[in-house]
Amino acid sequence: MRPLHPKNKEEILAIAIPLFAGSGYNGVSMRTIAKNVGLSAAALYHHFPDKQTLYLSAMAKAFVDKADSLDKILSSSATPEKRLAQFITRLCELVHKDKDFSVLIQREMMDGNKSRLQLLATEIYHDLFQGVTELCQDLDPQHDPYLLAISIIGLVMYHSQTAAIRPYLLHSKKQHSDPQVIAQHVTQLVLQGLKTSPAE
Amino acid sequence: MRPLHPKNKEEILAIAIPLFAGSGYNGVSMRTIAKNVGLSAAALYHHFPDKQTLYLSAMAKAFVDKADSLDKILSSSATPEKRLAQFITRLCELVHKDKDFSVLIQREMMDGNKSRLQLLATEIYHDLFQGVTELCQDLDPQHDPYLLAISIIGLVMYHSQTAAIRPYLLHSKKQHSDPQVIAQHVTQLVLQGLKTSPAE
DNA sequence: TATAATTAACTTAACGTTTGTTAATGTCAT
DNA sequence: ATGACATTAACAAACGTTAAGTTAATTATA
């Protein structure tokens, strides 16, 4: 029987992405993906030559267009402080809306071999990191822009990645998962640290 | 033949820990562990009833005594600022010396099911997080201590976790992996943000 | 103190299952 | 009729795990 709704690659990848994000490469079998898609495992090989290619395609799809909107903010003509605030807010929204994004990046950084890390660095991180580094130099030439760039990105990412364990920690409140609340906290931390107001 | 140097559980776990850190639970087979230890796979079942138990034992060993030295700093009588600086420095040293530590925690946060997350939260994070939260309240009651605690821990952890991809990023220098450099950067960022000096 | 029983620490061989993957085949729109 | 998209069946390899056997040290017994 010919299927009523033949699956294309994009549909398969859209289903595979959260699976890989949730259980990692080794934790997701071709049969698991197939079952979720509504196909036999063998049918997947009509769309992808092997599992590795399917996985890399899923990664590419998960990352595409993510960096673009951030790059626009970074290269705008606003003041450095405003660019920083906008960038942090946008990144917070992004990782909140697409929860697989930061998890997949994190998994790649831990699991990836050299060539995959290089791919991640050039394809995803290069422009983004370059932009943040330049922003950091505009913000304060005194600081090491490299360390500062990692700190800014890391702050946002870490708040997103700890979401799973948060319910089991004390004093956890709903607002702590609100991207706007996190964005405001991170922005203030980066710009002013703990000194709530210089006027005090 | 009875072996000349019989392996005990601790030896097996010491070898299993970096394997699990490097490839995750599903990425490490009993046969792989056995080969690295110098035993047959079946011999591992003489020491541990199953893979899950071996893994959880490895996690316990990797985490034990890690939180203790940090708790001491947090409960000292120094000023909040000094306690913060000491805590960050100690945590930086710790994740730099034992690179498996933060990776294993990160993997648990991503892979762990509910019961394992709860275990991680109560066994590892509870006292530590509680201490950092209280320190944050001492530092500045204005800030949300919960968000600030995650930010502080996250800053240190993220610098450690991005070590693998760092060689593939531009402007990377050796000093950016130096725990003392990172500690100083993070401390200054938390205390003062970008404002290099109020006297300027 | 000599000897028998027990135990700790392994081995090889095999089990049933799951894995990624392929082969052979079928169905339907163009 | 051809080609795109699917199926079921099967493959070899790797998986976690178990069974049975071997050896040497320890412990109990006479």
Residues of B in contact with A151 (CB under 8 A): 155, 158-159, 185-186, 189
CB contact under 8 A, B192 and A190: no
Residue B44, CA: closest nucleotide via C1'? C10
DSSP state letter for B75? T
Euclidean distance between CA atoms B32 and A153, whole angstroms = 36
Interatomic CA distance for residues A42 and A56, integer angstroms: 19
Q: For A158, which residue in chain B has the nearest alpha carbon?
A: B154
Q: Assess whether B5 (CB) lies less than 7 A from strand D.
A: no
Encoded tokens for B134: 């209280």
pTM to 2 decimal places: 0.93
- Chain A residues with CB-CB distance to B91 below 8 A: none
Q: How far apart (Å, rounded) are the C-alpha atoms in residues B171 and A148?
A: 12
Q: Is the CB of B52 under 7 A from strand D?
A: yes
From the list B58, B49, B124, B198, the residue with the least C-alpha distance to A194 is B198
CA of A15 to C1' of C16 (A): 31
- Among chain B residues, the shortest Cα distance to A129 is held by B169
Which tokens belong to A150? 């990692």
Position B12, amino acid:
I
A35-60, pLDDT tens digit by residue? 999 999 999 999 999 999 999 999 99
Per-residue pLDDT of chain B (200 residues; tens, 9 = 90+): 567 677 899 999 999 999 999 999 999 999 999 999 999 999 999 999 999 999 999 999 999 888 888 999 999 999 999 999 999 999 999 999 999 999 999 999 999 889 889 989 988 889 899 999 999 999 999 999 999 999 999 999 999 999 999 999 988 899 999 999 999 999 999 999 877 644 33
**pLDDT tens digit sequence for A11-30:** 999 999 999 999 999 999 99
Query: What residues 134-153 of chain A have any CB closer than 8 A to a CB of chain B?
Result: 139-140, 142-148, 150-151, 153
Of all protein residues, which has its CA closest to the C1' atom of D18? Answer: B42
Distance from CA of B36 to the nearest CA of A (A): 19
